[in-house]
Amino acid sequence: MPRPDMPRPTMTPGTDPPSGRTGPSSRGTGPRNVFATEAQRASASRFGLVLFLITLAMLFGAVMVLLLVLRLDDALWPETMPPLPWQIWLSTAVLVLESAVLVRCCRAETAQQAKGVLWMALALAVVFLGSQVWAWCTWYGAGSPMPERELVTSGFYVVTGVHAAHVLGGLVPLGMLVWFATGDVWADRQRSQVRLTSWYWHFLDVVWVLLVVLLLLQ
């Protein structure tokens, strides 16, 4: 127990209490002070996204197995099924263009360079969702009246609906990036976010192409 007459230690700004070191604080960056440097934060973000994409790959893998079973079984996929709605090709073209636009956005060095490209990416994502709704309506009108087609049409809605739900989720990071670029905020953190967002959309692009290929199997 310290004696009353012993001097108490004093702290100066920028000093860490445990070691008494002076200079920059050892606290992390960001609102929660988790990471020591911005590079650590970016690395953790990449790792988290990779884990998330692995989870999505397992989900879409199960969906593709379901689609493959439906497509290769003549009893489940009757010959009287109408061809795929042409809007599917529109959706494919829009999603491929989305990936190309995001690749260009990754090269943007300033907010002015990124803003127009990000608005285009956001608009393409909305067009994709609109074309999907259009395809669902067309498929419903062409394939639903006959009872033997109900399983196939339901499977089509599930497969494309799961994908559309993740496209809808992808609008959130795109909207955030548009907000930053419009506010002329474009630092290393935003550039890192663009790269991670592009990874997510490239993943959705690949999944969509695989789904279309499975739907076209004879």
Mean pLDDT, residues 129-137 taken together: 90
CATH number of the domain enclosing 210? 1.20.120.80
Kindly state whether residue 97 falls inside one of the protein's structural domains. yes
Structural domain tally of the chain? Answer: 1
Highest mean pLDDT among 10-24, 129-143, 185-199: 185-199
Kindly state whether residue 23 falls inside one of the protein's structural domains. no
Kindly state whether residue 8 falls inside one of the protein's structural domains. no
Kindly state whether residue 18 falls inside one of the protein's structural domains. no
The residues facing 35 across adjacent strands are 29
Q: Report helix, strand or coil for 170.
A: helix
Domain containing 149: what range?
A: 38-216
pLDDT > 60? residue 210: yes
19: pLDDT confidence band, cut at 50, 70 and 90? very low
Q: What is the pLDDT of residue 23?
A: 44
Kindly state whether residue 197 falls inside one of the protein's structural domains. yes
Task: Please state the pTM of the whole predicted model.
Answer: 0.76
Kindly state whether residue 3 falls inside one of the protein's structural domains. no
Query: What's CA 66's distance to the chain center, in Å?
Result: 23
Kindly state whether residue 24 falls inside one of the protein's structural domains. no
Report the chain's C-alpha Rg in angstroms.
25
Residues present in the chain in total: 218
Kindly state whether residue 19 falls inside one of the protein's structural domains. no
